[in-house]
Amino acid sequence: MDKFHRNKTAIRIKVISMGNAETGKSCIIKRYCEKRFVSKYMTTIGIDYGVTKVSVNGKEVKVNIFDMAGHPVFYEVRNEFYKDTQGAMLVYDVGNRESFEALDSWLEEIRKDIGSAADLEGVVFAVCANKVDSRKRVVEEAEGQLWANSHGFYYFETSAQTGEGINDMFQTLFKAVLTAIENGGKPVQLNASTNVGYTKEQAEAIQRLKTAKDNYERLGLPAGASREDINRAYRRLAVLIHPDKSLAPGTEDAFKALVNARAALLQTHR
Ligand code: GTP
Ligand code: MG
């Protein structure tokens, strides 16, 4: 195949970066594309855009990278760029808990602006726990891994400064996007249990018990569910996340929260 023809047939994919300001999104991209690190902070204004050619599974791929500004004032600029996204890096700073807790609102933002639930289903997400070189880490690996797992996302420990995890993260993301394209747009399902000792379902249940606003939500029930529903949901979850069965971080606390949630709800149903 001649060069001209090969270029014409190169696959194009669209990847975006998401996450709070100053978490290191631009630096991760710069580390990958330019193999360098800049320690001075230059906030991204709106969106930065670049194309890079990579080889994935022996195929030439043109990656269009949209590097989003994390600051809330740029929401109006960002929201138009979510459409047609195939891969997304969700970046937080392991030295800044707020940036980790913001991941849910980033997911909410893309969900709102990408178009449809089916479009969101097709996106491959890679969570980047960034700045792992830093000495003041406050979000531990297990916590980040659990969040990623509960959503079925990839998880990587990264440092734009040292380069740790960056190539691995991009290669995995690009490969998964290509596989999704080859499978007609459906991304591969990650099997969490093969490498972390717990399943996606367990991670989801634990995450929900941790963050739910009330006891009904903890049990995955609508407000006002019956006594029978409460007991049924409790039994199912108790089997699922029993500390003998789950190696996920936070299992014991989640199990206690489950027992307490049921007890409190049954009291109101007497
Ligand atoms: P916005 O464009 O404002 O949304 O920020 P951003 O997420 O693109 O952050 P950026 O890449 O500009 O990096 C923010 C600051 O963090 C800069 O001062 C970087 O030098 C620093 N930084 C980025 N990655 C790392 C890292 O892995 N380790 C350390 N120690 N510092 C980092
Ligand atoms: Mg930036």
Higher-confidence residue of 55 and 193: namely 55
Q: Which two tokens stand for residue 199?
A: 């399943």
Q: What is the pLDDT of residue 189?
A: 52
Closest C-alpha residue for ligand 1 atom 20? 39
Q: What is the pLDDT of residue 28?
A: 98
Neighbours of ion ligand 2 (CB under 5 A): 25-26, 44
Q: What is the pLDDT of residue 245?
A: 78
CB atoms within 10 A of CB 169: 22
Q: Indicate which ligand has the atom closest to the C-alpha of 32.
A: 1
Rounded Cα distance, 263 and 230, in Å: 10
Rounded Cα distance, 64 and 14, in Å: 5
Q: Which two tokens stand for residue 259?
A: 């027992």
Pocket test for ligand 1, best of 17, 22, 32 (most atoms within 8 A of CB): 22
**pLDDT-based confidence at residue 124 (cuts at 50, 70, 90):** very high
**Mean pLDDT within 41-52:** 91
Whether pLDDT at 192 is above 70: no
Closest C-alpha residue for ligand 1 atom 24? 24
Following DSSP, what letter does each residue of the chain receive, concatenated? --HHHHHHH-EEEEEEEESSTTSSHHHHHHHHHHS----S-----SEEEEEEEEEETTEEEEEEEEEE--SGGGHHHHGGG-TT--EEEEEEETT-HHHHHTHHHHHHHHHHHSS-HHHHHT-EEEEEEE-TT-S---S-HHHHHHHHHHHT-EEEE--TTT-TTHHHHHHHHHHHHHHHHHTTSPPPPP-THHHHSS-HHHHHHHHHHHH-SSHHHHTT--TT--HHHHHHHHHHHHHHT-TTT--STTHHHHHHHHHHHHHHHHHHT-
What is the rounded average pLDDT for all residues in the chain?
A: 90
Q: Separation of 91 CA from ligand 1 center, angstroms?
A: 10
The pTM of this model reads: 0.79
Closest C-alpha residue for ligand 1 atom 14? 22
Cβ–ligand 1 contact at 71 (below 6 Å): yes
- 90 in Cβ contact with 18 (< 8 Å): yes
Cβ–ligand 1 contact at 48 (below 6 Å): no
Which sign, positive or negative, has the C-alpha torsion 24, 30, 31, 37? negative
Pocket test for ligand 1, best of 27, 40, 98 (most atoms within 8 A of CB): 27
Cβ–ligand 1 contact at 128 (below 6 Å): no
Rounded Cα distance, 13 and 91, in Å: 20
Q: What is the pLDDT of residue 9?
A: 67
Which has the minimum average pLDDT: 82-86, 167-171, 182-186, 266-270? 182-186
Q: What is the pLDDT of residue 154?
A: 96
Contacts of 50 (CB under 8 A, 6+ apart): 29, 33, 64, 65, 67
pLDDT in tens, 214-231: 999 999 999 999 999 999
Cβ–ligand 1 contact at 25 (below 6 Å): yes
